[in-house]
Amino acid sequence: MILANAFCLFFFLGTGADPVVSAKSNHCLDAAKACNLNDNCKKLRSSYISICNREISSTERCNRRKCHKALRQFFDRVPSEYTYRMLFCSCQDQACAERRRQTILPSCSYEDKEKPNCLDLRTLCRIDHLCRSRLADFHANCRASYRTLTSCPADNYQACLGSYAGMIGFDMTPNYVDSNPTGIVVSPWCNCRGSGNQEEECEKFLRDFTENPCLRNAIQAFGNGTDVNMSPKGPSFPATQAPRVEKIPSLPDDLSDSTSLGTSVITTCTSIQEQGLKANNSKELSMCFTELTTNISPGSKKVIKFYSGSSRARLSAALMALPLLMPTLAL
């Protein structure tokens, strides 16, 4: 109990954040909790965390090859409704932004003792056919376009986000460069030192990540919930429209509305549970282990029709009463 209390106190005092404000604004923590409610997401996330945190020796902090493989499995096999929320969550404070940066365990999967030249890293990526394909997808789908409203090709945010996520787990793995909650800058772990007469090409390649308006707008739009593709040549309404939902009566107070959208979040501390600390029954710490509760995800077209059963019952009753009415009608 003392250890858990100390952890909560350290988190909020160390970051300089107000507990109430941080609890409401840490969407990256909420995304991790939502992942833990899905068996597949929780399993594959726990797997890559375990592998990427496993120290090999005093000189080798982890097995990067195995860490990359586990990350690829996570982003390839878990639905984007979970992975994107963890990777592109919006932040209002540094604690949230640091959690977002730590999503891919950068000390193993991203950082190294020295930064290689970006062109050398690109050459290494192109040797692997899958990495080469993912990098080509990124350039195609996140290429800055000044003929569209969003700066993305065909105003397609989702294609850019998918291409970015698809590069994680390779030598060209990108990540957030710092914990700035507002200024979003991502980059592979490389620089352009020693480029010689190819410095201009190297800088251009690096700017495709660090100064890419399409990628930046796509990440911000997803975090803000405004990632709806808009096309200047199309109709005046968003290309992705919310499904029409049949108007139905309110449910009784003792039943939950299974068609409602959104999430309920109540949390005060970061995930102590993820750190392996044992929960206790104290009232003050009970909020530290509050799990995120999610309902049916947006886009569900399921509609509950309450009157179909009662209509059949009325029809059945009428048919049963018909023989009784026939003598009367004959008279």
pLDDT (tens digit, 9 = 90+) per residue, 26-48? Answer: 899 999 999 999 999 999 999 99
Question: What are the strands, taking DSSP E only, across 68-204?
Answer: 174-176, 186-188
Which residue from 99, 15, 16, 11 is spatially nearest to 285, judged by alpha carbons? 11
Q: What CA–CA distance (Å, rounded) separates 168 from 170? A: 6
Asked whether the predicted pLDDT for residue 271 surpasses 50, the reply is: no
What confidence score (pLDDT) does residue 24 get? 56
Residue 270: helix, strand or coil by DSSP? coil
Determine which of 6-10, 64-68, 98-102, 200-204 has the lowest per-residue pLDDT on average: 6-10
pLDDT for the residue numbered 323: 53
- Percent of the chain beyond pLDDT 90? 54
User: Per-residue pLDDT for 148 more than 50?
Assistant: yes
Q: For the chain, state the CA radius of gyration.
A: 26
**82-96, 114-128, 306-320: which has the minimum mean pLDDT?**
306-320
Please tell me the predicted confidence (pLDDT) of residue 223.
86
Q: For the chain, what is the mean pLDDT?
A: 73
Instruction: Look at residue 308 and tell me whether its pLDDT is greater than 90.
Output: no
Mean pLDDT over residues 246-275, rounded?
35
Q: How many other β-carbons are positioned within 10 Å of the β-carbon of residue 117?
A: 18
Span 267-277, average pLDDT: 38
Query: How far lies 10's CA from each of 17, 84, 86, 269, 270, in Å?
Result: 11, 29, 23, 10, 11
CB 64 within 8 A of CB 108: yes
| pLDDT, tens digit (0-9, with 9 covering 90-100), for 74-111 | 999 999 999 999 999 999 999 999 999 999 999 999 99
Can you tell me the distance from the alpha carbon of 265 to that of 290, in angstroms, rounded to the nearest whole number?
8
Integer Cα distance of 274 and 36 in angstroms: 10
Angle of CA points 44, 49, 54, to nearest 5°:
130
Most confident residue range from 132-141, 145-154, 261-270: 132-141
- How far is Cα 136 from Cα 51, in angstroms, rounded to an integer? 28
The kind and range of the H/E element at 319 are helix 308-330
> Which of these, 217, 195, 220, lies nearest to 206 by C-alpha position?
195
Of 142-146, 236-240, 298-302, where does mean pLDDT reach its minimum? 236-240
Q: Is 204 exposed, middle or buried (0-12, 13-18, 19+ CB in 10 A)?
A: exposed
144 with 213: CB under 8 angstroms?
yes
Q: What is the mean pLDDT of residues 60-64?
A: 92
Alpha carbon of residue 303 to chain centroid:
27
Mean pLDDT across 147-165: 93
* CA neighbor of 189 nearest in space, from 115, 125, 124, 120: 115
Q: Which residue has the higher pLDDT, 210 or 253?
A: 210
Residue 294: band (very low, low, confident or very high) from pLDDT cuts 50, 70, 90: very low
Q: How far apart are CA 222 and CA 89, in angstroms?
A: 7
- With 60 as the cut, is the pLDDT of residue 233 above it? no
Per-residue pLDDT at 25:
66
